[in-house]
Chain A
Amino acid sequence: MNTISIRNLTKRYGEQLAVDALSLDVAPGSVCGLLGPNGAGKSTAFKCLLGLIRPTAGDLAISGAPVTPATFETLAYLPEKNTLYEWMTVKEHFELCRRTYARFDAARASELAALFKLDSRKKIKRLSKGQATAVAIALAFAIRPEILVLDEPSSGLDPIFQRTVLDLIIDAAAGGATVLFSSHQIGQVERAADRVAVLRNGKLVLEGNLDTLKGDEKIVEAVFEMDAFSPNGLASDPRVRRIVRNGRILRAYVRSGSTEIAAELEALHPKSVSVYDLTLEDIFLGAVSDAAPASGDA
């Protein structure tokens, strides 16, 4: 049973589809990084999952059941916008969580406060944006959650604290927690996640195990003696995302089967055939770029 199960989630605002038939599962102990441009629907999807927004359609479940207040005993949510009480101090926030959660671990909370160098007597409005995020993160992890839903957990944090957050996520997941987080920091996703999902205009355009994706998504490039051409049927091959031609160079962006496709291109006797790796950033940008045609001239 998947810890987080999203099936055909759709959220419509008038004519706009903020989320379009999204289906995503996160298995127990897995860390899923959700990538997407601004406005792609990541935050909306999280809010639908947690009952903050009513979906237009779709089935949502956490540990096999719909979300109830009891779900939040072991689920920590970090919203995108800082939502702490500006007029309360850090210490009062910790006290609030101590009273609200049965699993609140005061020792852990102190540890985290020290880790983020927080002055517990300060009011939230006196903290910088990064410090306020740090408080929210400390509160989230202090309850020793089994499930974490984090919307841009590193926003406003300096690189040192970003690494701290990564360590917290990796540590929690290694201890069995399930994590679903969205981030604009591709580097974070590359480290902490084992699965990646890419959202664009509310639709899921890419999803899979991160290592497998990196192993499968490649550029196969062929340089010809004269004008490049592609073999019949390559453009419509389901393994090929798109083909780009420029003069004597042909590049096929493939989602799998790079070796076989390289061999197919070899059969055309070009001057050379090479296979190039793609970073996650390349893969992401390729998945969200505008209306990439199946084949065309660059």
Chain B
Amino acid sequence: MGYVEYLRARHAFTVFAIVLTACIAFTDFSILYGIHNAHVEHSSANRDTTYTISVAPGSKAHGKAADDEDSVPISLADKDFTVPIGMLFGVAAYLAMVLATILGTSLNKENSRGGFAFTKPISRERLALTFIGIDLAAIVAAFSFTVLLGLASLEVLGIFGKLALEPGAAAVAAVGLGAAVMWYGLLQAATSMRVAGGGLFVGLSWVLFFIMLPFYAITFLGPIFHGLIVAIDFFNPLAYFALVSHDDIVTTISLLGFSPGTCIAITWSLATAACIAAIYGWKRVEV
């Protein structure tokens, strides 16, 4: 019976991968096309000048004239900058969250099938664990795929050498993935006992979790309101995972002020607890 979720997750991942690859490929080749076709006429008076063109908002390519050439080759690699791998992990985690929310109603989807999954020679607990295992594997696969695609992208753009493996990057990955699986678990817990309408919860969760971020800043409505927001934000995956970049080092901060280590502990624990609650609810649902 796990075969169903395998097919479903595989399909979702495939679509995810294709769309992502298409977007990244389009972007990369646009940049390369722009660089390739950019040239600057110069005369001997302009030698030793460094030319800079903008290839995308915030990124520039540079080139210097060679002795006997009429045009200046431009590449991205000349300037001195680094690409922190933590940034890559961060983006991958956000994208993995998208897949996580798509898969987060996998138990719920079985509840409107007249008991197809429940009249098979496999217990609901075992089946739920299989489903969750497959979904988590897909989430991790989405994360890894995005990272790999990012690395390939750097290579294609010729700036793979700029990659910096800073020490805090692993924490970024762990918190990011933690937030993704926490979101997944919360969706499962919220929908596993419902017979229909799982998709509604997915949409609501995106709205709710995003809105709860700026709401944290509202203090003029008093301490009770703020306390309520804090309580909700404790269960908000986006509150644990925000990327900040400082001196080319990328780390995460959490809205409620937890250290990355604490964030890892909380998000993964909540994810586990939510999945257990989801399984318990699924065991008891009547279809």
Contact = CB atoms under 8 A, between A and B. Distances in A.
Is chain B in direct contact with chain A in the complex (CB below 8 A)? Answer: yes
Interface of A: 47, 50-54, 69-73, 75, 77, 79-85, 87-88, 92, 95-96, 99-102
Interface stretch (B82-90, B118-126, B241-249): B118-126
B6 to A, nearest CB: 10
A95 B121 contact: no
Contacts of A88: 4, 7
21 contacts: A47-B287, A50-B118, A51-B118, A52-B115, A52-B287, A72-B119, A72-B121, A77-B115, A79-B114, A79-B115, A80-B114, A83-B113, A83-B116, A87-B8, A88-B4, A92-B3, A92-B7, A96-B3, A99-B1, A100-B3, A101-B121
Contacts of A73: 121
Given A52-B118, A101-B121, 19 more contacts: A47-B286, A50-B118, A51-B118, A52-B115, A52-B287, A69-B121, A71-B121, A73-B121, A77-B115, A79-B115, A80-B114, A82-B114, A83-B115, A88-B7, A92-B7, A96-B3, A100-B3, A100-B122, A102-B121
A85 B119 contact: no
A216 to B, nearest CB: 36
B102 to A, nearest CB: 14
Interface in B93-127: 113-116, 118-123
Interface string B116-148: 101111110000000000000000000000000
B287 to A, nearest CB: 5
A51 B119 CA distance: 8
A70 B115 contact: no
A51 B286 CA distance: 8
Interface in B212-243: none
A53 B121 CA distance: 17
Interface of B: 1, 3-4, 7-8, 11, 113-116, 118-123, 286-287
Given A79-B116, A100-B120, A54 B3 contact: no
Nearest to B123: A69
A100 B1 contact: yes
B200 to A, nearest CB: 19
A84 B120 contact: no
Given A54-B286, A72-B120, A47 B1 contact: no
Nearest to B118: A52
Contacts of A101: 120-121
A80 B115 CA distance: 11
A82 B113 CA distance: 8
Would you call the interface of chain A mostly helix, strand, loop, or mixed?
Answer: loop
Contacts of B11: 87
A70 B187 CA distance: 30
Contacts of B122: 69, 100
A69 B125 CA distance: 11
Contacts of A99: 1, 3
Contacts of B8: 87
A81 B122 CA distance: 22
Nearest to B284: A54
Contacts of B121: 69-73, 100-102
Contacts of A92: 3, 7
A49 B167 CA distance: 58
A78 to B, nearest CB: 9
A197 to B, nearest CB: 21
Which has the most chain A C-beta neighbours within 10 Å: B3, B123, B286? B3
A70 to B, nearest CB: 6
Given A83-B113, A83-B114, A52 B120 contact: no
A236 to B, nearest CB: 43
Contacts of B120: 69, 72, 100-101
Nearest to B113: A83
A85 B122 CA distance: 18
A99 B118 CA distance: 15
A71 B287 CA distance: 19
Which has the most chain A C-beta neighbours within 10 Å: B11, B123, B286? B286
